[in-house]
Amino acid sequence: MTLPIDELAQILRNAAKAEIMPRFRRLGDGDIREKTSAVDLVTEADEAAERFIKRECAALMPSALFVGEEGVAADPALLSRIADADLSIIVDPIDGTANFAAGAPLFGVMAAVVSKGETVAGLIYDPLGDDWMLAEKGSGAYLVCTDGERVRLRAAAPAPVADMIGVASSSMLPKDQRRALLNRLAETRILANYRTAAHEYRLTASGALHYQFYVKLMPWDHLAGSLLLEEAGGYVRKWDGSPYRPTDVNGGLLTAPDAESWRELRQLIGSDIA
């Protein structure tokens, strides 16, 4: 199957230029709303960008099921349709909404293409850098620059745990597990959290980070990035060691440079965090 991946990238780019960047640092008081908590936000830019992307994807791939983060917020049943769809496009119109709403220049637009239950393509667009990373299954991962140049991506080489740099998203854990996790990952060289999976995956796929730890599995947050990282040579597994699938919404995710590094990190984190 030939996918119009470059055309999909242009849709994300055009949506950012039309609906996201004109609102950056220009949101009014009524343009930001809470969804489930004070740190789970949606803005007018998220909703407008998703409408733009959905409309353009319908013209590009009319037979594909479109699943957007904001669409699922309105109709949770959309998630269950991914399993049976021949072709799905799964989109996060703004990943890092809290950063975007705060005026912090660290957010991205993500899209994944799923065919018969398998992620076959992923894109992460950076509206401020105006470039994107893309991967198609079995074809490698690339940074596509504004001038069209393509640079092959490679994940970080394995390193001793004490030298690893990584990110962890721990806010969804119970407080005792969160405290234990952060204490254990202090054994690595640097532990950070950028509040945007889009840029965390970009950093890991380009070799700047060694590991990522996530608690919440939503397909728009992880499908594009996990494929990107695997195609760049990295290793992605759920906490129980099983492969991550588009229909997985339970459990957590851990990435590493290779399988041995993953096992070392999982042992460090501990079986009580699962």
Residue 40 has pLDDT above 90, yes or no: no
- Residue 117 in contact with residue 273, Cβ under 8 Å? no
Q: Among the listed ranges 41-45, 98-102, 264-268, which one has the minimum average pLDDT value?
A: 41-45
Residues contributing to the annotated binding site for Mg(2+)? 69, 92, 94-95, 221
Task: Print burial letters for 120-130: b (CB count within 10 Å at least 16), e (below 16).
Answer: bbbbbbbbeee
Paired residues of 92 in beta bridges: 110
Tokens of 186: 């202090």
Q: Which two tokens stand for residue 172?
A: 């969804």
Cβ atoms of 63 and 43 closer than 8 Å: no
Q: Kindly report, as residue ranges, where domains of CATH 3.30.540.10 are found in the chain.
A: 5-152
pLDDT number for residue 37:
63
Q: Where in the chain is the domain with CATH 3.40.190.80?
A: 161-269
Cα(9)–Cα(59) distance, rounded to whole angstroms? Answer: 14
Binding residues: 69, 92, 94-95, 221
Q: What percent of the chain is predicted at pLDDT more than 70?
A: 97
- How sure is the predictor about 1, in pLDDT bands with cuts at 50, 70 and 90? low
Over residues 139-192, the pLDDT tens digits come to 999 999 999 999 999 999 999 999 999 999 999 999 999 999 999 999 999 999
Average pLDDT, the chain: 95
Q: How confident is the model at residue 274 (pLDDT cuts 50, 70, 90)?
A: confident
CATH code of 5-152, in short, is 3.30.540.10
Kindly report the CATH number that applies to the domain delimited by 161-269: 3.40.190.80
pTM (2 d.p.) = 0.96
